[in-house]
Structure 1
C-alpha cells in the first residue's frame, strides 16, 4: 500500500496546500505580535523561543514521519493529529490576545501603500533577494533529501551501520535540534556582545554592523555545510550526522538575524507588511524549484531506474547548482553597505510619528 493512492492525490495536495497556507499565516501573525509587544533583548529572546519551538516540532515530527514511511500507514491518519495539536495553540493565543490592547485595523489602502513602501528600503530588498535565492535551493534540498536518504539506506546499508529509516531521521532531527538550540542562545549573545564590545568581545571595538555581518557569515557556513551533507551522505555517516549540528547552529543565526534585520530596518507601521511581503515572495520563489531540480536530475540520470542512479543524479544536481546558495551568501554581505543608514532612517520615522501622535 502506498502512502498516497492515485485517486487521493489531489485531495492530499489540496489539504497539504491548505496546511502550508495556515502555517504561513500563523508565522506572520506571531512575528508581528512579537514585534509589537517586545523590544530590545526581549524581542531577541521571543524570536529565539519561536525558533526553538519550531525546531522542537520538527524533532517530534521526524520519527512520526519515519514510522509512516516504514509501515506504509495511510496519510489520512496524520490529519487526525493536527487538530489535537492545534487546540492548546488556539487556547494560548486567545488568552494572549485578550490581555492585549485592541488596535484598530488600518485602512486597506494604507496596508497596500506600506507593502509597496518596503521596496524603497535597500536593506529589505537585498535581504529578501538573498532569502529568495536561498529558498530556491534549500527548500528543494530539504524536499529531495528524504528520497536521497531512502536511496542511500537501500544502496549503502553498511555505511549507516544497518539503522532503519526512522532511527536515521530521528538522529538527524535530534542533532539539528541540538545545534539549533545552542545557536538560538549563542548567536544573539554573540551579536549583542559584538555590538556593545562587552563580555568575550571586550577586547575589540564595537561593531555596529554585527547583525548583518553574522547573518552573512551564517549564510556562508550553511552553504558549505549543505555541500558537506551531500558529499558525506554516501561516504561517511558520522561526518554526515555532525554536519546537522552545524546546520542547526548556523541556521538559527540565519533565521533569527534575518528577522531582526527586517524589524530593525523598517518603520513600525510597515513591519507587518514587510514580513508578509517577504514571506509571500520567498514562498513563490520556492514553488517551482523542486520541479526544476527534478528535470535537471532526470537529464543526468537518463533512462535508468536503479536506486543508485537516482541517488547519484540527485547528488550531482545539488553539487552542480551549489553556486546558488553561495550567491545568497554574497547578497548577505552586500547588506553591510546599507544597513546602518536604513536603521537610522527607520528610527527617525518612528520618532517623528510618536511626536505627531503625542497629545
Structure 2
C-alpha cells in the first residue's frame, strides 16, 4: 500500500498566512503566500486506488509526507523560490516544434537570450537538440557546437543559464563555460554516465518525467493513473540522484507535460499538480505553446499559442509551481505580476 497526499482548498496571501499561523493550514511547497487547508488522501494498492478528502488537522497524522510538502524550498542556482521564476526558452535547433530554425547562428541565439533576460527571464534555458514528438536525436558533438558559444557568452554576461540536454558529455562541457543548471528531459536516465556527470559538476538539476523516446513517445501513451505513475517515477529518480551524490536541495522536478501524454493526461496532471509538492523539491512546469493548448484554443500555429500558454502558466503558479519554462516571457511576467498581486496584496508581487 502506497499513500499520497494531494493538497486541496488553497488560500492565498493574508488568508494563507493566517491559516498557517493558526495551525489550520500548511504552506504549499514551503510558500509564504499559498496555503492548503485540506488534502486528498490517496491509497494505492496495485491497480486499486482509494481517495478521500481529509482536513489539515488529519493530514498531520502523516508527518513525513506533510513535511515534504511544507518544507521551505532552498534557493535554486542562487535564485530564491519564494515567488515563481521564469525560465526563458532559447532553442538553437533547426527543428524545435515552435521556433526551430529561428536562431540559426550564435549571434542570433545570444541576442534572443538577452532579449528574454530584458523581458524578465530569471533563467535562460539553452537547448541544441529538439525533443519534440517525432524528433531525431543528434550527436553530442553537434549539440555542443550549437550551444557551447551561446551558453558561454550569456553566462559571461552574468545571466543564469541552464543547459537543456540528455547527454553527459554536453553537461560536462557546458558546465565548464558557465552553465548553472542541467535540465534533462530524461531525468538523467538517457545515458548511464548522466548521473555521475551531474554529480561531478555539482550543479542543480531539473529531472523531467517522459514516457518513451521523443521519436515515438506520443504513440498511444498509457498509464494506470497518470498523476500517480508520474509521481512514482520522479520519486524513483530523486532516489537515484541522491544515491549518486546529488542532494534533494539541488533537484527540481518537472511532470513533463506533453512528453508521452495524451490531451487528457496533460489536463489531469495540471488539475492534480499540487500532488507533486509531496516530492519535497522545487516544481518546474513547462507547457508553453504545446499542442494541448492549441487543441483547447483552436490555435494550430504553435508560435501563436501565447494566450493559452500564459493561462496555463498562471494556473501552475497559483498551484505553487516555483519555475515556469516559457517562450513568451514578457506576457507571462505581466500576467503573473497582476495575478500574484491580486492574490497577495501585501506583497511586492514578483
Q: Give the TM-score normalised by the residue count of structure 2.
A: 0.23
Rg comparison, structure with higher value: 1
Identify the structure with the greater helix proportion: 1
